[in-house]
Amino acid sequence: MPAKKILFIITKGNWGGAQRYVFDLATHLPKEHFEPIVAMGEGTALSKKLRQAGVRTVHLTKLFEDRKARPGANDIGALLEILHLLKTERPDIIHLNSSRASLLGVFASRILSLSSFLVPRAYRLKPRLIFTAHGWPFKEARSAVVRALIWLASYATALLAHHTIVLSRGDFELTKKMPGVSRKVSLLYNGIETTGGLSRENARARLQLSTDAFVIGTIAELNRNKGISTLIEALTLLPKEVRLCIIGDGEDQKKLKALAHFRSVADRITFAGAREDARAYLSAFDIFVLPSLKEGLPYTLLEAGMSSLPVVASDISGIRDIIDSPHVGILVPPQKLKELSDAVQTLLTKKEVREKLGLALKERVKKAFSFDRMLNETIKLYIEKSEND
């Protein structure tokens, strides 16, 4: 039997959690059964990594991330690009990731499926549609009207897909309430493999951090959803010897640097930028902090756990699935800088608590977030048939 062609589509080709998810799946599918192709819009980091791993990529020139809820001219161009790609590649499976690419992808696929009835059966195109929701965007802090429009787009995507994967218990409960979707949704946690990192001394040297400094750190794309501004504000309430290291870049980088200068903590913050293998630098941190406003299921938190780091993070869906007990980490309400700084202060003064939390989180991640389980369960969804196909 020939290998099934699977086309992954994702809006941005930078390097973040959704891109890591696509990369891990595309590079670990058994080659004798699957031929992966990854199509993406703006950004080059993902395509570079995929090409190095021997996976074919396609650049969708009209596909852009857009904070606007209404469709634009670029969306029409992107839809036409995707239609052309589907007709050219004729995939057996389409795995959609990120909101904009997924909505356009389901519409393109359904358009071709309907039109295929006009051609002989041998030439018909009816790929299986799998959609992964990396955190529902209608949960973001926006106006009620905009959230309603985003909910409708999200619902349309899930309804038209043959199966939807969600990454957190909270998103699973929300999705089950969508009419016509409850029977075709699965909760599948991200999984990671055990990987080595740099030594503490080497990591700190590369990040230009003092060997004796107390460092709280985070790895994140610098956008509003990651809550980094709250972390910078919280730093002003912590002892002056505490340093903050931020690995990652993004649209809010200039704003965050300006905030650091305005709050007179710029000399205590290292903006390390994007790193080729960011998780290798986790050994440089004493505490890992993730102050997000919205998450799917954050890889960085799993990686911090595998590095035995104590964690302070936002008490939100996705993060709660990992930090499910005060015995494995400290959760605080999002955007509450006093609570955030108090939690860090508690760990700052109690080394034994830091060590205990770090070891407990590592054990939880190893048991509950297996990469092999994620891969095998996803493959089952690729090959199963449903009454919606």
pLDDT of residue 196: 78
Structurally, at CATH architecture level, domain 200-368 sits in 3-Layer(aba) Sandwich (3.40)
pLDDT at 122 over 80: no
Structurally, at CATH architecture level, domain 4-191+370-383 sits in 3-Layer(aba) Sandwich (3.40)
Domain boundaries, the chain: 4-191+370-383, 200-368
pLDDT of residue 124: 62
Separation CA 2–CA 215 (nearest Å)? 52
pLDDT tens per residue across span 16-71: 899 999 999 999 999 999 999 999 999 999 999 999 999 999 999 999 876 565 56
Distance of CA 150 to the CA centre of its chain: 19
Q: Do domains 4-191+370-383 and 200-368 have the same CATH topology?
A: yes
pLDDT of residue 384: 83
pLDDT of residue 116: 59
Kindly report whether the global pTM for this prediction surpasses the value 0.85.
yes
pLDDT at 108 over 80: yes
pLDDT tens per residue across span 291-311: 999 999 999 999 999 999 999
